[in-house]
Amino acid sequence: MNKLYPDAAAALGDVVRDGNLLAIGGFGLCGIPEKLIEALRDTGVRDLTIASNNAGVDGWGLGLLLETRQIRKMISSYVGENAEFERQYLHGELEVEFAPQGTLAERMRAGGAGIPAFYTRTGVGTVVAEGKEHKVFDGETYLLERGIRADLALVKAWKADLHGNLVYRRTARNFNPLAATCGRITVAEAEVIVQPGELDPDQIHTPGIFVQRVVHNPAPARRIERRTTRKEDNADRIGKKDDAPLQANR
């Protein structure tokens, strides 16, 4: 029952393959499994399809995999912070399937719950609906969306025990719980590792039955996707710690 692996490379080495579909947790740069993404890059696997809220930024997160051309297709809801993503997409080097954010979340949840597809009103009458089945319920038109069942899911937790039970912290509890359930194999990266029984059962967000492997990352980088600071009104304010709220929100 001990699911802890010595490092991210060991956890991925025998489970990732060319052409895999991966579900990866995170929202922007918050709650991304950074060590697992780096290890995925280092495997050299290619032609990956990745379902994730966005594609990171240049030089970090999933942006690392774009730089090495390991991603063939992205299934995403927001991609506006990555210049390399834009360049590859506009030059026809990267296939992109845009999905409304709620729809993407539900596609992961459905896949994890064994639901192959579902109907939603979101996207009806837009380019999102092109090529998809439409059906009328109670006088309203819905379109059919497929659930996502990934070959491999990579997620980031705050705490994990050796059985793979996971607890997320604050905003990192975004796409991570959904991605964790929809992977045939799920690997979790956690900041804190505890013994079985140390987690309050009422506080566990992802039960260990969904998680096959765990890796420890005690010192995450905590990068900020887009830094916005307040302009100083006068010279008297220079030197004061106005960035304290920013640091606290990392």
Backbone dihedral angles phi then psi of residue 84, each to the nearest 5 degrees: -70, -35
By DSSP bridging, strand 150-161 and strand 166-167 are antiparallel
Average pLDDT over residues 233-241: 51
Q: What is the pLDDT of residue 22?
A: 97
What is the mean pLDDT of the segment spanning 185-192?
97
Of 157, 149, 153, the closest CA to residue 185 belongs to 153
Nearest-angstrom CA–CA distance, 98 and 248: 32
In percent, how much of the chain has pLDDT > 90? 74
Length of the chain equals: 250
Cα gap 121→129, rounded to integer Å: 10
Q: 229 forms bridges with which residues in the sheet?
A: none
Domain at 8-216: CATH code: 3.40.1080.10
Instruction: Please check the confidence at residue 235 and state whether its pLDDT lies above 60.
Output: no
Task: Give the model confidence (pLDDT) of 239-248 as tens digits.
Answer: 544 444 444 3
Q: What is the pLDDT of residue 2?
A: 94
The predicted structure's pLDDT at residue 145: 97
Across-strand partners of 49?
Answer: 21, 73
Rounded CA separation 239/59 (Å): 30
Tell me, what's the pLDDT at 220?
72
Per residue in 111-129, pLDDT (tens digit) is 999 999 999 999 999 999 9
End-to-end, the C-alpha distance of the chain in Å comes to 33
The pLDDT of residue 206 is above 60: yes
Residue 57: pLDDT band (50, 70, 90) is confident
Confidence check: pLDDT of 31 > 80: yes
Mean pLDDT over 83-98 rounds to 91
- The encoded tokens of residue 159 equal 């705490």
**What is the structure's pLDDT at 1?**
81
Of all residues in the chain, the percent with pLDDT exceeding 70 is: 90
Q: Which two tokens stand for residue 119?
A: 């109907």
What is the pLDDT at residue 248?
39
Predicted pLDDT at 234: 53
> Is the model's pLDDT at 238 over the cut of 60?
no
Mean pLDDT of the residues in the chain: 89
Q: What pLDDT score was predicted for residue 115?
A: 96
Residues in contact with 147: Cβ distance below 8 Å, sequence separation at least 6, in sequence order: 107, 108, 110, 111, 113, 115, 116, 117, 118, 182
Is residue 164's pLDDT more than 60?
Answer: yes
**Closest by alpha carbon to 104, among 55, 60, 141, 64?**
55
CB 85 within 8 A of CB 66: yes
